[in-house]
Structure 1
Amino acid sequence: MSNAAGRRSGEAKSRTAMNEHLLKILIIGDGNVGKSSFVHRYVNGQFIKTYRMTMGVDYSVKMLLWSEKEKVRLQLWDIAGQERFISMNRIYYKGALGCVVMFDVSSSASFLSCRHWKQDLDNKAMLPNGDSIPCILLANKCDLDQRLVSADSIDRFSKANGFTAWMEVSVKENKNIVEAMRRLVQEILSVHSSLDLQPGPGHDVYPQLDSEGNRGAGCC
Structure 2
Amino acid sequence: MSFRKPRRDSDVVLSNSSHKELLFKFLIIGDYGVGKTAIVRRYTEGKFSSNYKITIGADFAIKTLDWDPHTKINLQLWDIAGHERFGYMTRVYYKYAVGAALVFDISRVATFQSVKKWLSDLREKVTLPDGSSIPIVLLANKGDISHVAIPTEQILKFCKENEIGAWFITSAKENVNIDEAMRFLVDSVIKAKIEDEIRDSIKLRDTPLQQEKHGCCKS
Superposed counterparts of 1:73-92, under 5 Å: 73-83=74-84, 86-92=87-93
CA positional deviation for 1:66: 0.2
Name 2:102's counterpart in structure 1: 101
Counterpart amino acid of residue 70 in structure 2: K
Structure 1: 5+ residue runs without aligned partners? 1-13, 198-220
Q: TM-score, normalised by structure 1?
A: 0.80
CA positional deviation for 1:83: 4.6
Measured at CA, do residues 114 and 47 of structure 1 come closer, stay the same or move farther in structure 2, by a change above 3 Å? same
Distance 1:61 1:16 in 2: 25
What is the DSSP-based 3-state SS (H/G/I as helix, E as strand, rest coil) of the residue aligned with 1:86? coil
Contact kept in structure 2, 1:56 and 1:85, CA below 8 Å: no
**Aligned Cα root-mean-square deviation (Å):** 1.5
Name 1:143's counterpart in structure 2: 144
Distance 1:97 1:84 in 2: 19
Distance 1:75 1:84 in 2: 20
Measured at CA, do residues 154 and 18 of structure 1 come closer, stay the same or move farther in structure 2, by a change above 3 Å? same
Superposed counterparts of 1:29-68, under 5 Å: 29-68=30-69
Distance 2:32 2:115 in 1: 12
Counterpart amino acid of residue 45 in structure 1: G
Counterpart amino acid of residue 90 in structure 1: R
Superposed counterparts of 1:124-203, under 5 Å: 124-196=125-197
Instruction: Report the number of matched residues.
Output: 184
Q: TM-score, normalised by structure 2?
A: 0.81
Once the two structures are aligned, what percentage of the paired residues are identical?
A: 45
CA positional deviation for 1:86: 2.5
Name 2:27's counterpart in structure 1: 26
Distance 2:58 2:96 in 1: 15
Counterpart amino acid of residue 114 in structure 1: V
Cα deviation code 1:143-181 (max 9, x no counterpart): 111110111111110111121211110111100010000
Cα deviation code 1:118-150 (max 9, x no counterpart): 000000000122111001000001111111011
Higher RCO (Cα < 8 Å, 6 or more apart): 1
Name 2:216's counterpart in structure 1: none
Which segments of structure 1 move beyond 4 Å, counting only runs of 4 or more?
A: none
